[in-house]
Each structure stands twice: as structure tokens, then as C-alpha cells.
Amino acid sequence: MQRDSSELIKTSDVRLRAIMDATPECIKIVAPDGSLTFMNQAGLIMVEAPSFTKIEGASIFDVIAPDYRAHWIEHHDRICKGESLNWQFEIIGLGGTRRFMETHAVPLPNGDGTFSQLAVTRDITQRKLAEDALKRNEFLLKAQNRALELTMHDGELLHVLHVITSAIEQHATHRIFASILMIDKEGNYFSEGSAPEVPRTIWEKSASEKVEVVVPDIEYAPLPVDFKNNVLARGLKACWFAPIVSTQSISLATFAIFYTQPQHPTAEDRRAIELLSHTAGIIIEWFREVKERRQAEGALQASDQHLRALIRASSNVIYRMSPDWLEMRTLDGQNFMEDTGRPIRDWLSKYIHPTDQSRVLEGIRKAIDTKSVFQLEHQVLQVDGSVGWVFSRAIPILNEHHEIVEWYGTASDITERKQTEEALRVAKDEAEKRKRLYETITGSTPDLIYVFDLQYRFTYANDALLKMWSSTWEKSIGKGLLENGYEPWHAEMHEREIDQVVATQKPIRGEVSFPHATLGRRIYDYIFVPVLDNHGNVEAVAGTTRYITDLKITEKALKESEAKFRRFYESNMLPIAFWNLNGKVYECNDAFADLVGYTQQEIIDGHYNWMNGTVPEYIHLHHENVKKAVAGKMFIEPYEIELLRPDGNRIHVLAGYALLEGSKENGVAFLTDITIQKSLMTALELRVAERTKELNEANFALKQSNEDLLQFAHVASHDLKEPVRKIKTFAYRLEGELSDANDKAKSYIDKILSSASRMAAMIEGVLSYSTINASAEMSGEVDLNTLLQDIQSDLEVVVEHKQATITSVDLPAIQGSRFLLYQLFLNLINNALKFSRSDALPRINIDGNVTEKAGKKYLHLTIEDNGIGFEQANAERIFDTFSRLNPKDKFEGTGLGLALCKKIVQRHNGTITAFGEKDKGAKFAIELPMEVYHTVL
């Protein structure tokens, strides 16, 4: 299992590393103390490091721009406590480059309860710059519009100029001071703005020659001392003058910009001045003209023309609309849009892009209703047929009755800006894509990453988790814990934890044991963190889980086994030594030293080794077993040797050893002193041998005697049979010959015959009895029903004669010898018939049922009669050989019948018991196993 998981981690690691190095984002892992433990290629480029080894272990804090550092460390600490955070900061690379970064960081369990920071960080410098530029541009455009609006609504010139200068100041990235310096037609000088007074001699050149004047470092510039002292005292170190000219290129005024550091104008400031100096020029000109005209003629016409000129300068399109906007009176498109010299009514379809027409109409309706300025960004159809963007503004011209007489509108081409915005949007999309890439990365880590919604359903599960479930995305996502195979207690636990994370908005972590689909039960360390929406509410709970079983188990097991071994070693319960292949012992416990007869010091000094410490005839065993150990045999079977102690004593020991794990030279050895066991064993063996011999002899004698007995019985009965038969044969013949003999002679012959018959029967009995064990096959299947039928038909004559009734239940077939069982039942039934009462007709009842004990089936049989019975006291004696309860003159018998029955039952591993009542009847109960389990009597 360990191998599998390490394999898995290895392949996954290689894949992960490839993906990480291929991604254009910085992926890094930062330890809780801020040291860098991992950074991919893209990251190295961002921090301008030549290779990872150059910065491995270095503090990441040093790279963070100082103004962001404290904030960054605070965030890092929070992540190491389990939070997930997103934020922006700046770094200063090793090469000094400043970069704006956006990072998404999550806690990464280290497996020991602590977390590192795993972060995916993007370089957003370009985006940031574009955004800034756009913002500033927007800002300037707004100022421009505001200034123009003020101008048209009869604002004060100085007020208008203030709008412009303060816009320039606010737009700058650093603190600057801006003023507009002006000399009117009458030659009066005045200035508007926060910049200090500047002697005319300094800026006049700029104004009159319409050139820029830059003073990068006032302190060292050839300038009037008073001025220098004055501005330097205010902390101003550099200045810059830019001319403001009219549409006719007449010098009108000068921008004065002061910096707090010695420097050249920045690019941003140049852009701002460029844009606004133009506007300022128009405005100043307008005021001059209006002032002049008003003073001279007060003619509106002129003002209109000037206004147009003014507006034309700042806008791309000028248009006039009827009060209700149904008619466009004129449109001056200035090569941006197609001009119209006469009133038209189809202006909407002609100029406005179809997608924005309704929006435009809506804006117009509002403007008409409120008699306020119409302004809207929308798409238009350009003169070349392409689609462009404009910022359109129309001002209602009101008469003295406050009625709209006309709308006067301008539209600026903002296509470029829109394109920038679009580019930004694309950049943001790109960022989203990056996010998905990040997800791909999460998908390839061996850690489990997942997200729950507030209904405890999985909304995300990475590949590792799906693999653990042995499931697919489709089957698992949207489902709860139970449905994904979590045990009820486990699902319940996580649901409560999710509740807690939602309620507290704080992460939670724990450890759990969970069965993996293919790798079995493992222990995992996990953390749940809240995912917050824009309003700061928890909208989901994200989690990561790391498998820590291996670590835990190995650590624990190692510690335990070490402790156990140490205890064992020090307890000196067993002699233990550490040795090398040369036979030298380099460490041992006291028990070992005592056993081999050296002191610890002598052993460590090399006075003892296997060879001199072992009786020579056993040394080959060491060599053989060491060879096996070196060949890779993990454990050597303990073997017996004799130690040779320095005092000359020999000790029997059992030696066992193994090479230390991973070593080819060093091992650990255990000795067991078996001297006592050995001597005990020897004594025991001797005793056992003696006893065995005795037993064997006794056994042999017994067997011999048994065989002799059997042989005798057999031979005797066989050999006895012939003369008895002959006695009978010839007695019968004599009887025949003496047909006319007297009664006395006849009675003598009868006595000879009956005695001979009894003797023959007894001999037959002894013969059967002595041959039961030797005869008969025991494994046959015997149907007891047919067996009883056969007996009844054999006894037909007697049964009829005695008018006996024999009843029996249906009996099963059992395993055994048919011949012997036949004899058994024949004897018992015969007995029942023989020992019948004279006052009652014999009734014999045979009953049987099967029981089971210890998994074996037994047949219980009873044979009951209503005969003369016997005293219960004799119940056991009747089975003895040659025992008789009744006088032989009354009941014929050999005294062997029941002994034979008992022997047959025993031969079948059964039991037979007799129950009797004098003059009432006898009952024989037999228990026979249905199957014979072979034993030999």
C-alpha cells in the first residue's frame, strides 16, 4: 500500500510539476516562517531569479515591496492558520523591477497540523497600468467637459481655469503644483492655480516663442536668486512651462508645473497638459472673443460661430436637433461621421448603431422631460461604414419662456477608449481562464480539493477526490456526502462542520479516517474554509484534505517498535547483540555479555567474536547462515550451537539473527540459553524412549496374546465342531438302528444328542464372537427394513408356532455390516421369542428415531417384548460372556447371544442398554451412528 501511494504521488508529482512549469503564473509554496519551499518557472522569471536553487529557503518577505510588506505578512499568517485569501501587492524583483501582483492563496496542510501557503500569483502590472491610464484619461475628459460646460453657461474664466489646473494636479501620480499664467490683451498679468509666482522673464519665452521650458533642477538652474530661494523654500525642486495657444496659433498663456523632486516632466503629465492645453486655449480664446464681441456688438451669431469653433476643437461631431429630436437640423461629422447639411428625419437609422437605438431614444426622452443635458456613450455608424463609439452630449437651448428651441450637441470619438476597455475585459477574461487553469492544477494534486454549497452538496471535487470515491464528476457533483458513500456518522460530522464554518466564517480543521476506493482505509487531515461573496457572506465552503496515514503509521509504529525493542534490550530478558559480518559484536546488552562470558568492554574491544566464542564443530553453521542472510534471506531460522566460554565451559544456545534493515553488513542477534532445556530434554527423551520401549513391548505382548486367543478360539471351535457333529451324526444313526429299543435306551440317546447340540451351539457362538472384528465389511449401506423382513421370514416357523406379533416402524438405512446387524437383530428377536411368557402371546415392538448430536446423526432403536423380563439389577450382567439368568433346562442358550450383540453394537461404534422388569418384559435400547467412524477395537 505504501508503495502504491508513493508511486501515485510520484507520477502525480511529475505531472503536476510539468503543468506548474508550463503555466504563465507564479505558483509558490511558502512555509509558515516565510521561507520559499517551491516556486515554478514563471515565478522565477517574475522575481528575476536565475534558478530555484538560488532562492530555495530564502524569505519571500524580502521580495515584497516595502510598502506592502507588513500587509503581506499579516495575510500570510492568516493563511497559515487556515484562511484562504485574495489580495494585490507589489514586488521588487532581484533585478529591481517593480511588478504589481494579484494572488490567490490557500492553506496547504503540512501533515503535522501546520499549514504552508500555496499561492497562484499573476503579474497584473500591464493591466494595472492600462486601468490607471484609462482612469486618468477619464478623469481628464471629465474635467474637459466640465470646463466647457462652465464656459457655455457663462462661468467665470478663472473658475474654468481652476477646473483645468486642479484636474492636472489631481491626475498626476505625484504631488505637483499647476497654474496657468496669462497676460491679457491689455498686458495685465494674472495667474490661476497653486503654483508660486513666476517672474515673467522665466516663462515669457515659453509663451512668446510657443516652446516648452523645462527646469529639471531649480537649485542648479541659472535663475533669479529670489525666485529660486522662494520656490526651494516651498520644497519645489523642478519646474516646467508649456505654452497654451489659440486655434490660430496665437500664444495665449502658459502652464506652469512644479515638482517636489528634481526631474523632467513625466509621461502622464505630458499627456494631461497636451490634452488640456488645447482645451484651455479654446476657452481662453472664447472668453476673449465673447468679451470683445459683447462689448462691441453683443451678437449671438458670432458667439455661435466661436462656440462651434470651440466645440469643434474638442469634439469630433457637432449636431443640432429640433426640440423634439424628430428632426436633425445639421450634423458636422468632421470625417468621422457623414455630414448632413439639410434637416433629416432618418438620423437615427443613419447614425446610430441598431443595438443602441433604443438606449439613445430613452436618453433623449429623459433629457426632453427634464430639460437637462443629454449624455450617453453609444455606438455609431462611422463615415467608412465601420462601427465606432462616441460620447454624445446635447445641451437644450432655452428661450426666455424656458422652452427648448433647439438641442445643441457634440459627440467625441471614444472608439479608442472603448477598445482599451475591451482589451481590459479580454485581459480580465484571461484572468478567469487562468483561474480555470488553477483548477486544472488542483485537479492533478494528490490532495483532495472540494467545495460544498450551503446544502452540503459537492459543487466541486478534484480528480483525486473522484478517484477516492471511485466515481465521476457527473455522478458525484450536486450530491451530498451520504450519496457519495460517506458513512452516516462521517457525513453528519462534516455537515455540522460546514454549519460551523458558515456561522463563524472561520475555517475548521480535523483528522478523519476514511476508506479509499482502491487504497483502503487511510487517515486524512482536512480543512474547511469559508468562501465569501461580495457582501461578505459565506456562499460556499471549500476544503482540502491531505492523506497522512503513511506518515502517521510509520512514525507511530517506528516509535513504538523502537521503544519496545529498547525496553526489551535493556531488560536483559534475552541476550541481544549487534554484530557485523566479520563476527565482531559492536554493541550488546548485559545478558549477552554474561552468557558469552566476556565483559561488555572486552566484547566491544573485540576480544570476543563468533568464531572464538563458538565450539569449532558449530562454526560452519554460522558461515552457512550468514551466507543466507547476505543473499537476502530476511530471517534466519534459529539454530543450535554450543558457546565456548573463556572459562572453558560449553553452553547450549539457540542463535537467531537478522541483518538490519537496509544493511548488508550489520545485524542483530539473539541468543537463548537452552542448557537447562537441553539437559531436561535429554532426560525427557531418555524417559520417553524407555517408556516407549516398555509400551511397545507390552503392546506387542498384548497383541500377541489377543491373536493367540483369537487363533485359539477359532481353531478350537472349528476343531471342536467336527467331533461334536460326528457325535450327533452317529447318535442319530444309532437312534435309527435302535428303532425297537426300549425307552430307557432312547432317552440316553436323546441326552447324548441334546448335549452335543448344546455344545455345537456354544462352539458356534465362540466362533462368531471371536471373529466379529476380523469379519465383515463395515462400509456397506444396510436397509434395516428389509433386514428385519428377512429375519422375520427366517423365523417364520417359530413365530407361527408361538403365535407372536412383531411390529416395527419404518427404519432408515445405516452404514455398517449387514451380516453383523443381521446377527444382532436375529439374536434379540430370537431372545424375545425364546423368553416369552407362557401366559401371554409374545409381542415384540421395534421402534426407532434419528437424533443429531455434535453434527452426527444417530439412530435410536428399541426392541421391547412382553416376555419374562429380568431384574433391572442384572441389566449389565446379561451382556457378559457365558452369563445366564435362567436355568438351561428351561431356556436353551449358549450364554453368548447378548455378549455377541454387545460386541456387534460396539463394532458399529454404538451402545446397547437393557431394561427389564421381572415377568413383565425386557427392552433393549440401541444407539447406532448412521455412519461408522472407523475405530478398531
Instruction: Kindly tell me which residue out of 78, 308, 312, 721 binds another protein, with binding defined by CB under 8 A.
Output: 721
* Cβ nearer to another protein, comparing 469 with 822: 822
Sheet containing strand 176-183, edge to edge, reads 189-193, 176-183, 251-259, 238-245, 213-215
3-state secondary structure of 48: coil
* Cβ nearer to another protein, comparing 470 with 729: 729
* Cβ nearer to another protein, comparing 771 with 913: 771
- Footprint on residues 699-718 left by another protein (CB under 8 A): 718
Instruction: Kindly tell me which residue out of 42, 367, 481, 767 binds another protein, with binding defined by CB under 8 A.
Output: 767
Rounded Cα distance between 77 and 923, Å, is 97
Q: Supply 375's cell numbers.
A: 449624455
To another protein, the closest distance from the beta carbon of 717 in angstroms equals 10
**Region near another protein per CB under 8 A, out of 89-97, 371-379, 504-512, 729-737:** 729-737
Q: Which of 656, 614, 658, 661 is nearest to 637 (CA)?
A: 656
Q: Supply 859's cell numbers.
A: 439412530
User: Is residue 728 a contact point for another protein (CB under 8 A)?
Assistant: yes
Q: Which of 824, 862, 822, 868 is nearest to 845 (CA)?
A: 862
Q: Which of 306, 308, 335, 305 is nearest to 319 (CA)?
A: 308
For residues 238 and 223, the answer to whether their CB atoms sit within 8 Å is no
User: Is residue 66 a contact point for another protein (CB under 8 A)?
Assistant: no
Question: Mapped to the 3 state alphabet, what secondary structure does 267-330 carry?
Answer: HHHHHHHHHHHHHHHHHHHHHHHHHHHHHHCCCHHHHHHHHHHHHHHHCCEEEEECCCCCCEEE
* Cβ nearer to another protein, comparing 37 with 771: 771
- Buried b / exposed e over 749-765, threshold 16 CB at 10 Å, is eeebbeebeebbbbbeb
To another protein, the closest distance from the beta carbon of 798 in angstroms equals 15
Instruction: Kindly tell me which residue out of 5, 666, 771, 773 binds another protein, with binding defined by CB under 8 A.
Output: 771
* Cβ nearer to another protein, comparing 70 with 715: 715
Rounded Cα distance between 234 and 222, Å, is 18
- Residue 107's CB is within 10 A of a number of other CB atoms, namely 24
Rg (CA), the chain: 61
Instruction: Kindly tell me which residue out of 261, 571, 775, 779 binds another protein, with binding defined by CB under 8 A.
Output: 775
3-state secondary structure of 257: strand
To another protein, the closest distance from the beta carbon of 760 in angstroms equals 8
* Cβ nearer to another protein, comparing 735 with 927: 735
* Cβ nearer to another protein, comparing 455 with 775: 775
To another protein, the closest distance from the beta carbon of 721 in angstroms equals 5
Q: Which of 77, 103, 76 is nearest to 88 (CA)?
A: 103
To another protein, the closest distance from the beta carbon of 730 in angstroms equals 8
* Cβ nearer to another protein, comparing 111 with 780: 780
**Region near another protein per CB under 8 A, out of 229-237, 477-485, 590-598, 721-729:** 721-729
User: Is residue 903 a contact point for another protein (CB under 8 A)?
Assistant: no
To another protein, the closest distance from the beta carbon of 718 in angstroms equals 7
* Cβ nearer to another protein, comparing 175 with 725: 725
Q: Supply 93's cell numbers.
A: 524583483
**Region near another protein per CB under 8 A, out of 49-57, 310-318, 429-437, 763-771:** 763-771
To another protein, the closest distance from the beta carbon of 771 in angstroms equals 7
* Cβ nearer to another protein, comparing 291 with 725: 725
**Region near another protein per CB under 8 A, out of 642-650, 670-678, 723-731, 920-928:** 723-731
* Cβ nearer to another protein, comparing 421 with 735: 735
User: Is residue 142 a contact point for another protein (CB under 8 A)?
Assistant: no
Rounded Cα distance between 918 and 903, Å, is 25
Rounded Cα distance between 491 and 499, Å, is 12
To another protein, the closest distance from the beta carbon of 719 in angstroms equals 9
3-state secondary structure of 480: coil
Instruction: Kindly tell me which residue out of 764, 794, 847, 931 binds another protein, with binding defined by CB under 8 A.
Output: 764
User: Is residue 746 a contact point for another protein (CB under 8 A)?
Assistant: no
User: Is residue 734 a contact point for another protein (CB under 8 A)?
Assistant: no
| Residues with Cβ within 8 Å of residue 470, at least 6 apart in sequence | 517, 518
User: Is residue 736 a contact point for another protein (CB under 8 A)?
Assistant: yes
- Residue 238's CB is within 10 A of a number of other CB atoms, namely 22
- Residue 655's CB is within 10 A of a number of other CB atoms, namely 21
Taking CA 214 as the corner, what is the angle to CA 213 and CA 216, rounded to the nearest 5 degrees?
160
For residues 121 and 43, the answer to whether their CB atoms sit within 8 Å is yes
For residues 795 and 833, the answer to whether their CB atoms sit within 8 Å is yes
User: Is residue 71 a contact point for another protein (CB under 8 A)?
Assistant: no
- Cell 428625419, located at residue: 345
CA dihedral 386, 387, 392, 398 (to 10 degrees): 60
* Cβ nearer to another protein, comparing 179 with 823: 823
Number of residues lying near another protein (CB under 8 A): 16
User: Is residue 726 a contact point for another protein (CB under 8 A)?
Assistant: yes
* Cβ nearer to another protein, comparing 52 with 732: 732
**Region near another protein per CB under 8 A, out of 312-320, 651-659, 731-739, 826-834:** 731-739
User: Is residue 733 a contact point for another protein (CB under 8 A)?
Assistant: yes
- Parallel, antiparallel, or unpaired: how do β-strands 98-109 and 115-123 relate? antiparallel
To another protein, the closest distance from the beta carbon of 764 in angstroms equals 7
To another protein, the closest distance from the beta carbon of 678 in angstroms equals 55
Instruction: Kindly tell me which residue out of 368, 732, 758, 874 binds another protein, with binding defined by CB under 8 A.
Output: 732
User: Is residue 729 a contact point for another protein (CB under 8 A)?
Assistant: yes
Q: At what angle do helices 267-296 and 125-152 cross, to 10 degrees?
A: 10
* Cβ nearer to another protein, comparing 563 with 715: 715
* Cβ nearer to another protein, comparing 322 with 755: 755
For residues 913 and 817, the answer to whether their CB atoms sit within 8 Å is no
* Cβ nearer to another protein, comparing 767 with 912: 767
**Region near another protein per CB under 8 A, out of 97-105, 760-768, 780-788, 846-854:** 760-768
- Footprint on residues 797-826 left by another protein (CB under 8 A): 819
Binding mask 297-326 for another protein (x = CB under 8 A): ------------------------------
Instruction: Kindly tell me which residue out of 640, 722, 750, 783 binds another protein, with binding defined by CB under 8 A.
Output: 722
* Cβ nearer to another protein, comparing 139 with 819: 819
To another protein, the closest distance from the beta carbon of 858 in angstroms equals 27
User: Is residue 725 a contact point for another protein (CB under 8 A)?
Assistant: yes
* Cβ nearer to another protein, comparing 427 with 713: 713
> Which residue type is seen at 528?
F
Here the contacts of 184-193 (C-beta below 8 Å, separation 24 or greater) are 184/288, 185/288, 191/256, 192/158, 192/161, 192/162, 192/165, 193/161, 193/162, 193/165, 193/166, 193/256
Q: Which of 572, 565, 607 is nearest to 589 (CA)?
A: 572
To another protein, the closest distance from the beta carbon of 755 in angstroms equals 13
**Region near another protein per CB under 8 A, out of 432-440, 528-536, 759-767, 869-877:** 759-767
| Residue 612 φ/ψ, nearest 5 degrees | -75, -10
Binding site for another protein (CB under 8 A): 718, 721-722, 725-726, 728-729, 732-733, 736, 760, 764, 767, 771, 775, 819
